[in-house]
Chain A
């Protein structure tokens, strides 16, 4: 429950959130159609970023940098789509996509945590392998029955603005929204979270307290792969119904930027992803409505430039987990 102490500690965030909400509803009051379509498009774009950022949160909070999220997503999109095409079952596709994410996560986990391979190199390997596999085994002309359907969540979808934006989407988008809050709870309120944070900040303290640092890192990095796989299946089976080469198109890297902007916290990362999504949505709106006469390329640039500016501003103020990137050697 938001007691007074919590409010005063987070007053900047609460204040910003309130302002954004008021602004959004003011916009909604002026033109409800455009408001709903812009915010819906923002969330549509933000979903894979949110999932990708959560993969990063789990990995880096445990002390493992994951720059392979991009590759994990791509393989998830690929494996999910072609499994669905082969079996003509979307459910099988989603499961295979998630499992492929786990497999990639397991590779990262075992090579870095057990094999002590440099985490950046392991991530680069994942990205290269992912691009290679998904191009080499790509077959054109395959189709899946249909993408994951959108549905209305009872009651919640009736809320003005928020309902149509967040509660009338496909299952993966809804899952992405829920996982943010679940992960926040797990990370800050449970035993797993306390131990995960200790392992990512100061592993030798965790070790002397009797926590198995290696096992926890292995589990976390591997399990986080599910989310990356789902982000991929979202791209190929919920947002679209097709797979294209390189369709993750940098979203995994963007998720890392959002992770930093979000200060390694799930809820702030959600806010950051929504901000980025909104900027992109704004760009396409400006383009479509012809309100400004600027070459399209510049407008398309806008979200990236803004992200860069915001990141640069945030960079000095946020701090990464203390042991991120460092392999743990017992008794060191």
Chain B
């Protein structure tokens, strides 16, 4: 085992052959579900046989979670049928789903933190002896189950004292104690360390060998190849592909299916005329929320007047990288400099004042203050500077005037700049953020997922603005999980994998398949 589990393949010998004559456990036909005008699932059909592991692969927002929530009875489908062991009766609620042999391990564990493993296991279907909870029985049940499935847990341990991987084991045991035929795992590896991930994949195989079918959601390609018998690829709410024989599939095949071959959104832009280096990152190391290395020796230069697109499968350190440059997350090694000035240890405020504009990935949390007016949101980075303040006194007239100007310029659709920013639609919120960051004329514009959850019209507008910022001489670092966005905007593309740049290519020479392959971490051969 190397220190980085993502790099080493999980492949452990040949997989079980895909089922041909096995019992069909779950069959979904024509399933559709909309939320408002958003089609979360469109005409989805799939099948799961007994004892097989099926992966649902797709980017964030592809509709995977919506799909499994319908199987577990948490959401009611608009159309289509879900048939379990040939019974297509509507699944009323989770209780009904459990009764029919479906178990689900949620992404956020449904365990009471201050209770013991045994107490959590019995919760909801307690056995009582003479009015008193039969805790001994519950402990015994935990021990039996954990021996049977080779998942060791201490029945008397309190949940909050257990590592995440063990908590997940408890969740799986909890589902198994309800005698499941089909176990659904919603992004089970998202919270796990590489080592815990390996263990989990092993457990899944054991369970499948014992006759339990497993459906698991992921956007990590290697996990699919390492554990699944078959896989369905979801994109924009639809099944865009199914792979029945994963033994002859590579991660790059899957990657290109996942990002799709849709029409590239065209952006008209002139040839870049790069100037001096503005952003220079050398050997940067940043830890993620769990304290594990996320950015691991990252090097990149971005020059004035060019857009550098950072392509990569989500979870390869992009978020931590951006947060670290923006001064929102400390780095543990390496340097970041802006036009020769060291900003490695600058906080968010100083970084901003040094000339870094940041369009954050999570705009609700880091981009706007929902309760503040649009006008105030537009000066969040400069409210205490002239002309918006004189000394300690704010100039509301100037703030308002500024807001009215930007509203015109950035096409923010709101009749009143004093309205709370939280009342705007997603696309208009994003325009507020983009307007604020660009109007400060930054030397470096850093845009993370700038068009996520934004309507098509706004996407085009934001793209055009990014190009204009470049033409005005800003260095632009674009981070996006949308390969199309990267391809259509970037003058240069850097591919990030495992927290470091694995390749750099010129934007006009970029080949989608090649980049997909690199994103999957497949850079050692060919």
Contact = CB atoms under 8 A, between A and B. Distances in A.
Contacts of B110: 202, 204-205, 208-209
Nearest to A191: B126
Interface string A194-218: 1101100110111011110000000
Contact of A198 (B95, B106, B123, B125): B123
B181 to A, nearest CB: 18
Residue among A206, A208, A210 having the largest count of chain B Cβ atoms under 10 Å: A208
Interface string B125-150: 11010011100000000000000000
Contacts of A204: 110
B321 interface: no
Given A201-B115, A205-B112, A190 B128 contact: yes
B158 to A, nearest CB: 12
A225 to B, nearest CB: 24
Interface string B373-388: 0000000000000000
B124 A209 contact: yes
A317 interface: no
B133 A202 contact: no
A331 B106 CA distance: 12
A206 B123 contact: yes
A205 B122 contact: no
Contact of A194 (B74, B122, B131): B122
B94 A208 contact: yes
Chain A interface bracket (under 10, 10 to 19, 20 to 34, 35 or more): 20 to 34
Given A198-B123, A210-B95, A190 B133 contact: yes
A205 B122 CA distance: 12
A205 B133 contact: no
B132 A205 contact: no
B133 A194 contact: yes
Interface in B88-138: 94-95, 98, 106, 109-115, 119-120, 122-126, 128, 131-133
Contacts of A319: 114
Contact of B94 (A190, A194, A210): A210
Nearest to A199: B112
B98 A210 contact: yes
A190 B122 contact: no
A322 B114 contact: yes
A74 to B, nearest CB: 34
Nearest to B128: A191
A206 B125 CA distance: 11
B471 to A, nearest CB: 45
A205 B126 contact: no
B123 A194 contact: yes
B74 A331 contact: yes
Contact of B133 (A191, A198, A206, A322): A191
Contacts of B124: 195, 206, 209-211
Interface in B163-193: none
A191 B106 CA distance: 24
Contacts of B131: 190
Interface in A163-217: 189-191, 193-195, 197-198, 201-202, 204-206, 208-211
Contacts of A198: 112, 115, 123
Nearest to A186: B131
Given A208-B106, A210-B94, A202 B113 contact: yes
Contacts of A197: 112, 114-115
Contacts of B119: 194
A206 B112 CA distance: 8
A194 B112 CA distance: 10
Interface in A200-242: 201-202, 204-206, 208-211
A209 B125 CA distance: 8
A8 B94 CA distance: 41
Contacts of A201: 112-115
A81 B133 CA distance: 40
A53 to B, nearest CB: 20
A189 B130 CA distance: 11
A332 to B, nearest CB: 11
Nearest to A206: B123
Residue among B109, B119, B131 having the largest count of chain A Cβ atoms under 10 Å: B131
A205 B123 CA distance: 9
Contacts of B114: 197, 201, 319, 322
Given A190-B132, A208-B106, A210-B95, A195 B112 contact: no
Nearest to B74: A331
Nearest to B120: A205
Contacts of B115: 194, 197-198, 201
A121 B110 CA distance: 30
Nearest to A319: B114
A195 B113 contact: no
A185 to B, nearest CB: 8
B70 to A, nearest CB: 13
Nearest to A323: B112
Given A189-B132, A190-B131, A202 B126 contact: no
A208 B98 CA distance: 10
A208 B112 CA distance: 11
Contacts of B122: 194
Contacts of B106: 208
A195 B106 CA distance: 20
B128 A210 contact: no
Interface string A301-320: 00000000000000000010
A204 B125 CA distance: 16
A190 B129 CA distance: 9
B65 to A, nearest CB: 13
A193 B115 CA distance: 12
A211 B110 CA distance: 13
B155 to A, nearest CB: 14
Contacts of B133: 189-191, 193-194
Contacts of B120: 205
A324 to B, nearest CB: 12
A319 B133 CA distance: 24
Residue among A189, A190, A198, A319 having the largest count of chain B Cβ atoms under 10 Å: A198
Interface in A271-324: 319, 322
B113 A194 contact: no
Interface string A56-94: 000000000000000000000000000000000000000
Task: List the 8 closest A-B pairs by CB distance, nearest first.
Answer: A209-B124, A205-B110, A202-B112, A208-B110, A210-B95, A191-B126, A210-B124, A209-B123
Interface of A: 189-191, 193-195, 197-198, 201-202, 204-206, 208-211, 319, 322, 331
13 contacts: A191-B126, A193-B133, A194-B126, A195-B124, A198-B115, A201-B113, A201-B114, A202-B110, A204-B110, A205-B109, A206-B123, A209-B123, A210-B125
Given A190-B131, A195-B126, 13 more contacts: A191-B128, A193-B133, A202-B110, A202-B113, A205-B110, A205-B111, A205-B123, A206-B112, A208-B106, A209-B123, A210-B124, A322-B113, A331-B74
